[in-house]
Amino acid sequence: MTVVTRTSNETRIRLSLRAGTGIATISTGDAFLDHMLVTFARYAGVDLDVQATGDLRHHLIEDVAITLGQAVLAFAPAGCARYGERTVPMDDALVQVVLDIGGRPYYRGPLPSPLYDHFLRSFADNARTTLHVRVLRGRDRHHVVEAAIKALGMALRDALAETGAVFSTKGSVRLEITE
């Protein structure tokens, strides 16, 4: 299990992430964020517990994404499949997510919701993940965002699958910093 606690003047977050079956216990005070985190856990196939409070909705959503990204980074096994891709339809929406959890942060969207576009960018930066999100269709922002979170969860499930070998021609990268 990976536990990340993040405390600032703006937010207080405790997040735990573990291999599981998609069970989520979420309390952020923001009903849509709670819904997206439950959705993420279900589709990623991980058990997720998030307790969070914040002064502003923007700070809460951003800092939860930062914390979730840090937890995924710490949680990912060295011998995981690394890559994932899923396309999800949801009513009028059709969204594709392609990712690489190989340590190179990059985000390309956008989503039609600035808050959730920022959520995905913050997640990608802190999970050190390359994340491409393509909105192929969709008029309803709720449906587009939810389809993106579902596709992210399923792509991440594929990327986290244990393969028993480092999936890179470089092998494991070791970094040592001294002062």
Angle at 68 between CA 43 and CA 97, to 5 degrees: 45
- The whole-number pLDDT of residue 179 equals 79
Where does 36-176 show beta strands of DSSP type E?
46-54, 83-90, 93-100, 106-108, 130-137
- The whole-number pLDDT of residue 168 equals 59
| pLDDT above 90 for 90 | yes
Q: Rounded to an integer, what distance in angstroms lies between the CA atom of residue 146 and that of residue 94? A: 10
- The whole-number pLDDT of residue 155 equals 98
Is residue 107 within 8 Å of residue 118, measured between CB atoms? no
Residue that wins the pLDDT comparison between 164 and 37? 37
Where does 1-111 show beta strands of DSSP type E?
2-7, 11-19, 24-27, 46-54, 83-90, 93-100, 106-108
Is residue 87 within 8 Å of residue 112, measured between CB atoms? no
Q: Is the peptide bond before 110 cis (omega within 30 degrees of 0)?
A: yes
> pTM score, two decimals?
0.92
Tokens of residue 111, six digits: 């989503």
| pLDDT above 80 for 175 | no
In this prediction, residues 54-74 reach a mean pLDDT of 98
Mention every residue, 6+ apart, whose C-beta is less than 8 A from residue 69: 122, 123, 124, 125, 126, 127, 128, 129
Tokens of residue 122, six digits: 């913050």
| Share of residues in the chain with pLDDT > 70 (%) | 92
**For the chain, domain boundaries:** 2-160
Give, in words, the CATH class of 2-160. alpha beta
